[in-house]
């Protein structure tokens, strides 16, 4: 199995010190028009230099720089001559490594904090208000800046809240500019990238499309390609992008695994095909998937089974297409398109230095004997970047603006064994929730609203003057920008009431609807 490499554009590297917001920093850098990637703090200076970075950003983290076992970065990174910005822990690590002093003074700052900019603010804080609200989260302080550094900002508790060594193009802030709570946080990042590092804003959908079209054509040659089309945003855009590059060399394959939401098959077969002109083959494999999922309750095992059977379904189609190609004297089928995104890579442990939060059907659990080379044109992108590219490609808004839906489908929204009966229950409940959210005009206010069936849980209820013992349904509305972090969406009570009443009145074996009010972290968006 061969994976397509990341973009060839030189990256701004975000060094992850275990920060909650490392991915958010990378996302904010891209908002500034600069391509970014995440690397672990364990990367050596040579490994970082090999990536030829245009800038380096040191993330925050939960540790104290002077503690034994605290995350460390190869000090030689500071000798690479690359403009560098330290944030929170990264700010303190830079200060300590370059000769400054970091101490616990007993003065902590958490949340909204007033910062005062010194002088003209230098390159980093120039053009910003002399007093501004920033978001702090630290118990240690930089007590003394390293030699050659100028203090750019202070707070009532922190004498060195920001600094800069303009000659070496080293900068740092104690606060978190990547979060929206810092009033001028994005401006701080943009000042570093555009003024400090001298970078242009040249990361945009048009450039990505042109670059990927060229690379796909070079990779594929005259071979034929199969695309894994699920009907979701990721696969729809990746398929359209590859189709733009190679046209009729591409055949889209839609596997109906029986784990889809209500009406999804029709949307794929009619709306998407009409808008793109892509050749589509539908595989009806519901019975096969359900057979392999029988008796399985472990979420990781479910994901791996579903991922494996996806590939098996494609292999069967491949045999038919290979036979077709041979009969017609055409080129062989060699490639498989997948809609893998950067968050998928990060959460599956493929992002350098990250923990394996869950396997993803596009990343983890694929069989070793996969007989395709992979084309993953969206692998370096966040979700909103994918939507922007989809709009540039002319994909209808109804598809591009669709809420994310996991590749394993409703199979990972049933807590417990997946059965045909349970799928029908969840499918109806999900359809009701989506319909009511759309009626209320809330589709653009939420990132995603998974509807979960607690199949292995029963609760007592009263329906029709009788006692019932039914399943609970969980609503999980979340707001997010890129799925790396998320907060639960505060839906209006009347909307929640309508959803609950309709589900409990019309969906059999359900007598309770509950609301998940957990942010990410600590919880993931999906339950499994």
Under DSSP, the state recorded for 525 is S
Convert 202-225 to b/e letters by CB count within 10 Å (16 or more is b).
Answer: ebebeebbeebbebbeebbeebbb
Please give the C-alpha separations between residue 316 and each of 2, 186, 203, 229, 370, in angstroms, as whole numbers.
Answer: 20, 49, 39, 15, 12
DSSP symbols for 155-180: -SS-SBSEEEETTTTEEEESS-TTST
3-state secondary structure of 116: strand
- Catalytic residue flag (residue 243): no
Query: For this structure, is 147 an active site residue?
Result: no
Q: From the CA atom positions of the chain, what is the Rg in Å?
A: 25
Angstrom distance (rounded) from CA 91 to CA 351: 23
Which residue of the set 31, 37, 41, 88 is catalytic?
88
178 is an active site residue: yes
Buried b (16+ CB within 10 A) or exposed e, 457-468: eeeebeeeeeeb
CB atoms < 10 A from the CB of 64, how many? 16
Burial of 270 (0-12, 13-18, 19+ CB in 10 A): exposed
Total residue length of the chain: 528
Catalytic residue chosen out of the listed positions 178, 190, 309, 376: 178
φ, ψ dihedrals at 447, nearest 5°: -80, -40
Catalytic-labelled residue, pool 176, 184, 243, 360: 176
Beta pairing partners, 517: none
Catalytic residues: 88, 176, 178
């Amino acid at each position: 199995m061969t994976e397509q490499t990341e973009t060839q554009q030189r990256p701004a590297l975000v060094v992850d010190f275990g920060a909650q917001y490392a991915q958010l920093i990378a996302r904010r850098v891209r908002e500034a028009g600069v391509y970014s990637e995440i690397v672990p703090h364990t990367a050596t200076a040579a490994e970082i230099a090999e990536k030829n970075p245009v800038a380096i950003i040191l993330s925050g983290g939960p540790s104290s720089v002077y503690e034994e076992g605290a995350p460390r970065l190869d000090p030689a990174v500071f000798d690479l001559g690359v403009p560098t910005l330290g944030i929170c822990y990264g700010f303190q690590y830079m200060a300590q490594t370059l000769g400054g002093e970091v101490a616990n003074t007993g003065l902590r700052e958490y949340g909204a904090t007033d910062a005062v900019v010194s002088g003209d603010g230098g390159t980093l804080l120039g053009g910003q208000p002399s007093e501004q609200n920033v978001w702090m989260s630290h118990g240690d302080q930089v007590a003394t800046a390293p030699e050659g550094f100028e203090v750019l900002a202070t707070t009532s508790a922190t004498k060195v809240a920001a600094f800069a060594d303009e000659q070496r193009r080293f900068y740092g802030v104690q606060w978190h500019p990547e979060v929206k709570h810092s009033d001028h946080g994005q401006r701080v990042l943009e000042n570093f990238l555009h003024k400090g590092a001298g970078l242009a804003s040249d990361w945009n959908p048009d450039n990505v499309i042109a670059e990927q079209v060229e690379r796909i054509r070079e990779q594929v040659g005259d071979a034929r390609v199969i695309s894994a089309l699920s009907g979701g945003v990721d696969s729809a855009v990746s398929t359209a992008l590859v189709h733009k590059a190679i046209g009729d060399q591409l055949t889209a394959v839609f596997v109906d695994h029986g784990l889809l939401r209500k009406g999804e098959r029709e949307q794929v077969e009619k709306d998407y095909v009409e808008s793109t002109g892509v050749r589509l083959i539908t595989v009806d494999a519901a019975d096969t998937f359900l057979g392999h999922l029988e008796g399985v309750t472990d979420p990781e095992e479910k994901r791996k089974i579903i991922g494996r059977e996806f590939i098996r379904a494609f292999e069967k189609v491949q045999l038919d297409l290979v036979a077709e190609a041979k009969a017609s004297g055409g080129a062989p089928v060699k490639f498989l398109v997948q809609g893998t995104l950067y968050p998928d890579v990060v959460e599956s442990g493929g992002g350098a230095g990250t923990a394996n939060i869950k396997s993803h059907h596009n990343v983890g659990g694929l069989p070793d004997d996969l007989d395709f080379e992979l084309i993953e044109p969206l692998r370096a992108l966040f979700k909103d970047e994918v939507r922007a590219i989809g709009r540039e490609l002319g994909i209808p808004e109804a598809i591009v603006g669709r809420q994310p839906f996991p590749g394993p489908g409703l199979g990972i929204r049933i807590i417990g064994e997946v059965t045909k009966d349970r799928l029908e229950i969840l499918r109806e409940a999900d359809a009701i929730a989506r319909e009511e959210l759309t009626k209320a005009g809330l589709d653009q206010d939420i990132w995603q609203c998974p509807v979960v069936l607690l199949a292995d849980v029963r609760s007592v209820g009263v329906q029709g003057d009788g006692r019932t013992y039914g399943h609970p349904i969980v609503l999980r509305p979340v707001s997010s920008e890129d799925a790396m972090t998320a907060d639960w969406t505060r839906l209006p009570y009347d909307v929640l009431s309508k959803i609950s009443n309709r589900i409990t009145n019309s969906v059999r074996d359900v007598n309770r609807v509950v609301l998940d009010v957990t942010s990410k972290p600590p919880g993931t968006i999906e339950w499994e």
